[in-house]
Chains A and B, each alone.
Chain A
Amino acid sequence: MLKQIEGSRAVAEAIALCRPQVICAYPITPQTHIVEGVGEMVKSGELTNCEFINVESEFAALSVAIGASAAGARTYTATSSQGLLFMAEAVYNASGLGLPIVMTIGTRAIGAPINIWNDHSDSMSMRDAGWIQLFAETNQEALDLHIQAFRLAEELSCPVMVCMDGFILTHAYDRVDMPTQAQVDAYLPPFEPRQVLDPSEPVTIGAMVGPEAFTEVRYLAHHKQLRALALIPKLSAEFVAQFGRESGGLVRTYRSDDAETIVVALGSVIGTVKEVIDAMRDDGIAIGCVSICSFRPFPLAVLREALERAKRVVVLEKCLAVGLGGIVSDGVRKALSGIMLKGYTVIAGLGGRAITMSSLRQLFDDARADELEQVTFLDLNADIVAGELERETTLRRSGPTAEAILRRLGTVASRIA
């Protein structure tokens, strides 16, 4: 059924269709509307047989989810940014225990400076925590990925994060095709836990493992992700069969078959990238793009296949590996190991800065001309940076950088005496 609704609402309804049994909620912008939506459905009785638990922190949210999942309940939670960091210890623990929890990340920047807007710093910080990470391009895909995520998590006994861009997707009203309960039920069988806390078959879960077996345990976690590389396309294909539309998978290509320049990106920015590509194609330029849906496991082989014929690759990232550059670029570079082509890392959209079509057009043109730095910060205000750097060299006690920049921009009226 087609609906014009907010992305968060769409995801909330999709979650409800997945018949979750325990949902933990702790507020943090921009994921709040999702759990509010599900909570409303539980409270109204629309979603039955589901415990909606308001906890006192993100750490507790995922911890409650860990307990519920280990006790055999289909479990869901959502968070963003600082919240994800606050639950970091539990994030690793959930995957270490092999618990098929699904968690939405309404992706958002990490402070300080505190910033509620979108980038991918939060989910990327947990890239090695052992969770599967799927990035949604649109609200429709966000909705669809959650349905696939439960299936994937439960088949592998591995937790899955569905990452959707904060505000850009979570708060955007868009038309989505909401599946029916029967469709979802046909795709997603009831949860049969691989291990469960059950008095009739008691086990000890969460043993202490020393050097004698720790490497093996970690290898098996890695192996589980490698299995996901095969399972994700399979589930995506089944999804097409059941729901009649493409969603998910490892990567998706767009006009990249004959492209000399290929842009690699994740999430909602793909939409803008595609529009720029269409315009450039109209101008006869051989450019295309590849969007990564499965960031963990990272699809090295399919990426290589999609990129190996290009002359140059531009990786557009909403996250910064401070002191290094790109995070996604590392993976892409590894996928292209041994292949001689130009590679550019572009850091863009940090803390919610708009990625405009004109900036992208300029960026791609510069790339085609091979006039880009190895690492480029899109739309970086060079004057501000230069001024701030100068101020810091002259003042021992230069104060907080962020505030200084805001003052320079005139956003903050106050002055330090």
Chain B
Amino acid sequence: MNRHEKLMELPTQRQPVKFYQTGTFTVGNRLLPENLRSVQADIGRTNSLNSGHRACQGCGEALGARYAIDAAMRATDNQLVAVNATGCLEVFSTPYPETSWQIPWIHSLFGNAAAVASGVAAAQRVRGRPHVRVVAQGGDGGTTDIGFGCLSGMFERNDDVLYICYDNEAYMNTGVQRSSATPPGARTATTPALGREPGNVSGTGKNVPLIAMAHRIPYVATASVANLHDLELKVTTAMEFHGARYIHIHVPCPLGWGSLPADTIRIARLAVESGLFPLFEARDGHVSARTPIRRKVAVDEYLKLQKRFAHLFASPAGRERIALIQATADRNIEEFGLLEDEATRG
């Protein structure tokens, strides 16, 4: 039984019907009992990341950060401290003299968010405040590249930290340079669409969720801004654990991906629905749940909305690379059992 079905199974006080018009696909749903609505639907939600921040129009990371931190705030009864790596999120949220954060928040360096968070967590223990929980957050550069050593160390020590990576698949803050999370074929400032293999080369990349699992930490999950309930459930679940936890959230970047600001969630949804970004959870190093694809789409649907992949559609060689990307998506679908029947069977 997947999460959505589980929600549908829950008894309600008012109605015996298990169908709610939009189910839990929308942010809120007046027909759902309060406890099944999203944190974001709450008129009194924390807005941990407040208005007035300087993120680009349609920024997926701004959205993902508010989703995740608000959920963590609710899960911890507002007893939360956040540590932030250098990057877009940090820069757009805290330029002197204004901060958009409404929670205790610290930024130290680009590569040390996980370690700083370990320190914050240690301080809570030693100061007799174990109810104060710690979240570290960073972009893909701060997580999969420069911050990777500290991240792995935090995992290995099983420090009581939830680390959230907002993955927009390149160094956006510095002007869209390739990171180890940049997908094959993607054009960035350092992988231009030139030469024999335009864009980012194939066969590279680092799957940090799987690496996190290899540390056998209690909880690892992937999430997407296109599936809010799933994301919130994962953050909430993560906060039920102590020890090192990792959530990798896919957050489209209109600037770096060359997409319309209005398409941010649509693109994130297509990444999930195509199988390119599998949504799953893992406990103690083993996949324990996955969110099935609702309506499978070809990767073309996802790629064609983004200028960073435009060159792939312009040549036979590019078409071949799209076929490779499709193969990756298909493999994800198979490996994680992302289609409904497979998911329920497994």
Contacts and interface: CB of A to CB of B under 8 A. Distances in A.
A56 B105 contact: no
Interface string A58-83: 01100111111111110100000000
Interface in A188-212: 197-199, 201-210, 212
29 contacts: A51-B125, A53-B157, A54-B157, A56-B152, A57-B150, A57-B153, A63-B115, A64-B116, A67-B106, A67-B119, A67-B122, A67-B123, A70-B123, A71-B124, A90-B109, A90-B112, A93-B109, A97-B108, A197-B104, A197-B105, A198-B132, A202-B102, A204-B105, A205-B105, A206-B106, A207-B96, A208-B91, A208-B107, A210-B96
A89 interface: yes
Given A55-B153, A213-B96, A206 B107 contact: yes
A73 B104 contact: no
Nearest to B48: A202
A57 B81 CA distance: 24
B127 A89 contact: no
A75 B99 contact: no
Nearest to B161: A67
Contacts of B106: 67, 70, 97, 197, 204-206
B96 A67 contact: no
B94 A204 contact: yes
A49 B129 CA distance: 12
A266 to B, nearest CB: 30
A22 interface: yes
A19 to B, nearest CB: 10
Contacts of B84: 206
Q: Which of A24, A69, A204, A210: most chain B Cβ within 10 A?
A: A204
A65 B119 contact: yes
B116 A63 contact: yes
Contacts of A67: 83, 106, 108, 115-123
Given A63-B109, A90-B108, A209-B96, A53 B102 contact: no
Interface in A172-202: 197-199, 201-202
A329 interface: no
B111 to A, nearest CB: 7
Nearest to A92: B109
B140 interface: no
Contact of A63 (B126, B150, B156): B150
Given A51-B126, A208-B90, A69 B104 contact: no
Chain B binding surface SS class: mixed
Contacts of A203: 104-105
Interface of B: 78-81, 83-84, 90-91, 94-97, 99, 101-109, 111-112, 115-127, 132, 149-150, 152-153, 156-157, 159
A21 interface: yes
Nearest to A54: B157
A22 B126 contact: yes
Interface string A26-58: 000000000000000000000001110111110
Contacts of A213: 96-97
Given A71-B81, A206-B107, 13 more contacts: A56-B152, A63-B108, A63-B115, A66-B116, A67-B123, A68-B122, A71-B119, A71-B127, A72-B123, A73-B126, A199-B104, A204-B106, A213-B97
Contacts of A199: 78-81, 103-104, 132
B94 A60 contact: no
